[in-house]
Amino acid sequence: MLSNKQFNAALGIFGALLFASFILPYHVRPLSTYYNDALVALGVLLVISLFAANLKPTLQLPKIALLPLAIIIVVFVQLLLGVVQFDRVALPILYLLLASAAMLIGANLSSLPNGKEKICLMMASVHLLASLLSVIMQGIQITGVNATPFIMFIERNAQALRPYANVAQPNQLALLLCLGLASIWWLYQSSRLDRWTSVLLALVLLWGITLTQSRIGWIILPLFVMFCFPRRADSKSINRYLLVLLLIAYLLMVIALPTISRYLGFFSGSVQEHIGGRSERLALMQQAWHMALQHPWLGVGWFGFGAEQVKIAGSFPATIYAEHSHNLVLNLAAELGFPAAVIILCVLAWWLLQTCVLVKATRAVQFASLCFIAIFVHSMVEYPMWYAFVLIPFSLLIGMVHQTRYPSDDVPVPQAALAFLFYAGICFVVVVNRGFSTGRIWLPDIECRPRSAK
């Protein structure tokens, strides 16, 4: 068990690196979020080193941490049968191991005195601060000011401008801002923000979501309002009229954005264009369903969607090339097969039901539930959990919630084992970082080479 000093250090280190992953402006193709993900991975490894610093470490071992390991087992079966190649799944396996480690960390930190409160404070503070800073960056981007290398530059042109701060993807930024709204909820519930400060900050983030022109806000925000409507014993009641007014304010921002953008000197798409525009996602989902039907038992292989898409492209109308179907359910079915996908999704659904729905949820569990809503909704139209800076905090919250519902006993763990995990992880990160920097890295069907300066 960590001392209070070690506990605070663990949260501080992880929180600082998570925050840095959101504001780092350095994105290099083909794995544009590599350095962002590496920062969060480093945070997990450094927290493990704090556990290893104890002479006789003990850990709680939540059973939910077996879920990422189960996916790894399926991937190894695919490797043995020649469905996938190791160079294509090496990094994805590392991400799954980090997810399992983050669940362990979440469970163990939450079992410490005031553990859940401190975890939520760290997560809420990081996401809210990163969100507010990102909205400021959006403001600089729409003005056309070149603030590189601190803020990514977006050139004004005839196409719709969707400022994405340093996250580098507008839909991903919209998710971060939605998590920032969940953070405002927790900070208000814990009396760290008053009502009107919370409202003001919420309006700022709603404007940021509007600027991204992301349609996931149209789904997530009404669900947030519905979540906050019931009066719960463990949380402050929120004025329902105020919630509805905030939702109306967002609607008015979305409708007025084209007019506002013309005055500010940039072009944005209208609501009608977003509703009636052609979506590539439907074609990708159709391709994923076709793959699942053609390979029902083991799928096309983990991270094999892109390669299989090329093979079957002639059977479908022209669409974009993608490494993911942009739908979590269909992607699992396509890449792992129906049996594994059904088991994984049923286990996850049962777990959510038991930990977040059918119990009297604490304030910490309610905060985690808001985050889960945002991430799962986004996962139905994109792939946020394929980014470590989403997957790892998500996994940490899962570990915390699991420990709340199913507390486990301390299990002695050899100090040498934790030290080995830390050093092995650091060595792996160094090797991969060197490969990425010099031009070669394990990636699905592509080779990373340095881009020439222009």
pLDDT tens profile 390-412: 999 999 999 999 999 999 888 99
Over residues 291-314, the pLDDT tens digits come to: 999 999 999 999 999 999 999 988
Q: How wide is the angle at C-alpha 441 spanned by C-alphas 435 and 445, nearest 5°? A: 165
DSSP codes, 212-272: HT-TTHHHHHHHHHHHHSS--TTS----HHHHHHHHHHHHHHHHHHHHHHHHHT-----HH
Q: Which residues on neighbouring strands pair with residue 411, listed in sequence order? A: 59
pLDDT at 274: 67
Terminal Cα-to-Cα distance of the chain (whole angstroms): 52
CA proximity to 398, closest of 100, 126, 181: 100
**Domain-located, residue 60:** yes
**Domain-located, residue 307:** no
Question: What separation in angstroms does the CA of 275 have from each of 112, 117, 271, 374, 451?
Answer: 48, 41, 6, 21, 37
**Domain-located, residue 197:** yes
CA proximity to 381, closest of 324, 308, 296: 324
**Domain-located, residue 158:** yes
- Rounded Cα gap, residues 86 and 246, in angstroms: 49
**Domain-located, residue 71:** yes
DSSP assignment, residue 450? Answer: P
**Domain-located, residue 127:** yes
**Domain-located, residue 23:** yes
pTM passes above 0.85: yes
- Rounded Cα gap, residues 59 and 414, in angstroms: 10
pLDDT at 452: 36
Parts of the chain with a pLDDT under 50: 444-454
CA proximity to 123, closest of 58, 190, 168: 190
- Which residue range is the domain that position 202 belongs to? 4-278+324-438
**Domain-located, residue 347:** yes
pLDDT at 277: 54
Q: Structural domain tally of the chain? A: 1
Do residues 34 and 75 touch, judged by C-beta distance below 8 A? no
pLDDT at 382: 94
pLDDT at 449: 35
